[in-house]
Structure 1
Amino acid sequence: MRIAIVAGEASGDLLAAHLIRALRARLPQARFVGIGGPRMEAEGFESWWPAETLAVMGVVDVLASLPELLRVRRGLLARLKAEPPDVFIGVDAPDFNLSVERRLRRRGVRTIHYVSPSIWAWRGHRVHKIGRAASRILCLFPFEPELYTRHGYQASFVGHPLADVFPLEPSREAARELLQIEPDACVVAMLPGSRAGEVGHLAACYVATMQQMLAKRPALQFLVPLITRQTREQFEMALFQAGAQDLPVRLLFGHAHEALTAADVALVASGTATLETALLKRPMVITYKLGKWTFRIARWLNYLPWAGLPNILAREFIVPELLQDQATPQALSSALLQWLDDADARRAVLARFEQIHLSLRQNNAERAADAVLAELKQA
């Protein structure tokens, strides 16, 4: 049996690696080929191109990489058409994978799209584009399948892999011991995003928020996990420009999960990190800033009242969202301090986070493998 998979970026590589392991336990002779990363290769995957080929973001980067992306897509399709796989699985990367899935499906190949694009937030018309390209869509969130099935497309809820990995009761003591933080310290995790554009919009606001909080709580400590050297330099520059180099803040290379687990409360840029914060059971304030016109367009396209994943999953505002012009240092610091001052509110939101965690903990890799096997039976 021959299973083709295309995954881009580290998150797709991890998802696909877990799926390959689950499938190999049931199909030990299966061959896995396509585009993937080191985790997939560690599971015996044969990668024709590295996953980083697809890891481009932003209009400028995409345009610059377009000739290479088109060349890779042509080469991939040529190989898959010459020797059709039993099933093709596109893991996320919808702009690349949906076009591949559509062409292969026309030739009779069963196609699966793993990770539904966020049609529930905006660009809802894409449901038909996705449904025509994929024989089945594997969804990470429980409300997503109905968006497809109401139009006659097959979709399966397989749970979220982070819910399987994260413990239901994370140990703050262990995280603090690892980061060498005193057990009784009051700690705030500040997550300004993983991309340079995000950090560029938020760094100065985050620094000013820390200054506001310290004016009222001088004993506070801050942790700022940053993924790249560029984002670290951006945040260091924001500290320098504010004359705040003496703030009690530690900049970490990575270690976002440890920082969140060690913290009492968190300020988090909207995105996957908000779900991670909920799964790690930390009260949070969600924020985000974009360019003026970009934000207006995003607001016009977005038909949900919520931006953060915990609120979307709860279908109500269980944590504050302060976006764009609302995201002032005064408002952010006030919202964070309110979490620290209200023990009843903290207990209530942690109970909601546990409900979300349990709803998403579905043994993701096994359920995804079940869905793939169902498609193989129909092939």
Structure 2
Amino acid sequence: MRYYIIAGEASGDLHASNLMKEIKNEDSAAEFRFWGGDLMQAQGGELVKHYRETAFMGFLTVLKNLGKIRANFSLCEKDLLEYKPDVLILVDYPGFNLRMAKFAKENGIRVHYYISPKIWAWKEGRVKKIKAHVDRMFTIFPFETEFYKKHNYEVSFGGNPLLDAIENRPNKDESFEDFTAKNNLSNKPIVALLAGSRKQEIERILPVMLDVVGDFPDHQFVVAAAPSITKEFYSQVVGDRDVKFVYGQTYDLLQQSKAALVTSGTATLETALLRIPQVVCYITGGGKILFAIGKRLLKVKYISLVNLVMDQLIVKELIQHYCNKQSITQELKNILEEGNYRSEMLENYQLLNEKLGGAGASARFAKMIVEDLKSQ
């Protein structure tokens, strides 16, 4: 069968690549065409556009790139009709993918949504579009399933594919000495900095994270560099601060770290599943006024997936003007110190792992997708 997949960022590329791998186990004749990244490309098939060319974040950035965004829609619509897939599989990325779901449905193409958009947190009204244009929704969090049930929309939960990605990661047995030698790092304990994968959020959040470096002379700070961002860009943001970078080794870096400062998103869950104490740091554009408006519009109590899944405050969330040098410094000290605060966070991480359903999610989702197509 022919599969057309659209992923618009690094995490989508990761999950889609693992799904493609498992689909091939279920369907030996599987053919892929996709929008995504290097990990998907490694599974075979035809890459139409890399996500580094399609990731636009923030109102002003979107406004400046409207021409490119319209051109991407036109290209995708034309390409989809020419390829004539058995199914369109959408991976998160709602601004683009919900429009493509409507277009595909109108043109008789079956639509599967793998990894639901976060409409449970923002723009809940989009559930109407999903019910109208998506044939099957596959959820990766228990609370998502409950959300859709509330809207009388049947979904399929199969666990969380992040557990597979982490369980099957390369270099999982690598020693601290080998990792630091390979990356020209010192023997000091590591604090990992995960500042996002888009230029706009890196520019906003990484400088604030870096403000605390001087207060921890006995530690080394290492940035998990996003593969789509150049070294030159990072150098401009970092300036002369004493930090190192590693590319394409986020999991390797985390597993060797004592603690991490993490931008809200999938990275908070990855950090927790790798059992690394963390501080969640997030700053949106627009300052206090837009932050106050956003808080009123949000439908959830927390911004980090760790806290959302557990439905309680497991990791500290420092948001907007609360995300400052003083607050980050204090919280980082708390989680670096061997004591009750740190150990309680690690114990809650174990409960989180159990709640997400264990490994094997990618295979379960692939089986559901292929069986659905065979039944049509």
List per-residue Cα deviations over 1:126-150 (Å, max 9, x = no partner). Answer: 1122221211112222221221233
Contact 2:86 2:109 in 1 (8 A): yes
Please state if 1:199 is matched with 2:202: yes
- Matched letter for residue 305 of structure 2: L
Identify the residue that residue 235 of structure 2 maps to in structure 1.
Answer: 233
Q: Of 306, 309, 315, which aligns to 1:310?
A: 306
- Matched letter for residue 125 of structure 2: H
Please state if 1:370 is matched with 2:367: yes
Deviation of the 1:315 alpha carbon: 0.7
Contact 1:164 1:363 in 2 (8 A): yes
The range that moved more, 369-378 or 31-40, is 31-40
Task: After TM superposition, list the pairs within 5 Å mapping 1:146-185 onto structure 2.
Answer: 146-167=146-167, 174-180=175-181, 185=188
SS in structure 2 of the partner of residue 125 of structure 1: helix
Q: Of 293, 296, 299, which aligns to 2:292?
A: 296
Task: After TM superposition, list the pairs within 5 Å mapping 1:22-61 onto structure 2.
Answer: 22-61=22-61
Identify the residue that residue 279 of structure 1 maps to in structure 2.
Answer: 273
For residues 376 and 194 of structure 1, the distance between their equivalents in structure 2, rounded to whole angstroms, comes to 34
TM-score by length of 1: 0.84
The range that moved more, 3-12 or 71-80, is 71-80
List per-residue Cα deviations over 1:276-322 (Å, max 9, x = no partner). Answer: 21111111111222331332232222132212121111111112112
Task: Spell out structure 1 runs of 4+ moving beyond 6 A.
Answer: 168-173
Q: Does the C-alpha gap of structure 1 residues 41 and 119 become closer, same or farther in structure 2, counting only changes over 3 Å?
A: same
Q: Does the C-alpha gap of structure 1 residues 108 and 151 become closer, same or farther in structure 2, counting only changes over 3 Å?
A: farther
The range that moved more, 109-118 or 290-299, is 290-299
What's the Cα RMSD here?
3.0
Identify the residue that residue 323 of structure 2 maps to in structure 1.
Answer: 327
Deviation of the 1:262 alpha carbon: 1.8
List per-residue Cα deviations over 1:7-42 (Å, max 9, x = no partner). Answer: 333433333232222222222223333544444344
Deviation of the 1:107 alpha carbon: 4.1
The range that moved more, 115-124 or 36-45, is 36-45
Identify the residue that residue 114 of structure 2 maps to in structure 1.
Answer: 114
Contact 1:135 1:154 in 2 (8 A): no
Contact 1:14 1:39 in 2 (8 A): yes
SS in structure 1 of the partner of residue 212 of structure 2: helix
Contact 1:53 1:69 in 2 (8 A): no
- Matched letter for residue 322 of structure 2: Q
Identify the residue that residue 244 of structure 2 maps to in structure 1.
Answer: 250
For residues 79 and 220 of structure 2, the distance between their equivalents in structure 1, rounded to whole angstroms, comes to 55
Q: Does the C-alpha gap of structure 1 residues 159 and 207 become closer, same or farther in structure 2, counting only changes over 3 Å?
A: same
For residues 49 and 202 of structure 1, the distance between their equivalents in structure 2, rounded to whole angstroms, comes to 27
Q: Does the C-alpha gap of structure 1 residues 295 and 234 become closer, same or farther in structure 2, counting only changes over 3 Å?
A: farther
Deviation of the 1:111 alpha carbon: 0.9
The sequence identity of aligned pairs, in percent, is 33
The range that moved more, 19-28 or 279-288, is 19-28
Q: Does the C-alpha gap of structure 1 residues 233 and 165 become closer, same or farther in structure 2, counting only changes over 3 Å?
A: same
SS in structure 2 of the partner of residue 118 of structure 1: coil
For residues 26 and 168 of structure 1, the distance between their equivalents in structure 2, rounded to whole angstroms, comes to 19
For residues 261 and 20 of structure 2, the distance between their equivalents in structure 1, rounded to whole angstroms, comes to 35
Contact 2:5 2:32 in 1 (8 A): yes
- Matched letter for residue 329 of structure 1: K
TM-score by length of 2: 0.85
Q: Does the C-alpha gap of structure 1 residues 280 and 231 become closer, same or farther in structure 2, counting only changes over 3 Å?
A: farther
- Matched letter for residue 368 of structure 2: A
Contact 1:205 1:329 in 2 (8 A): yes
Deviation of the 1:49 alpha carbon: 4.7
For residues 320 and 349 of structure 1, the distance between their equivalents in structure 2, rounded to whole angstroms, comes to 10
- Matched letter for residue 325 of structure 1: H
Q: Does the C-alpha gap of structure 1 residues 270 and 231 become closer, same or farther in structure 2, counting only changes over 3 Å?
A: farther
Contact 1:112 1:134 in 2 (8 A): yes
Unaligned runs of 5+ residues in structure 2 are none
The range that moved more, 285-294 or 64-73, is 64-73
Unaligned runs of 5+ residues in structure 1 are none
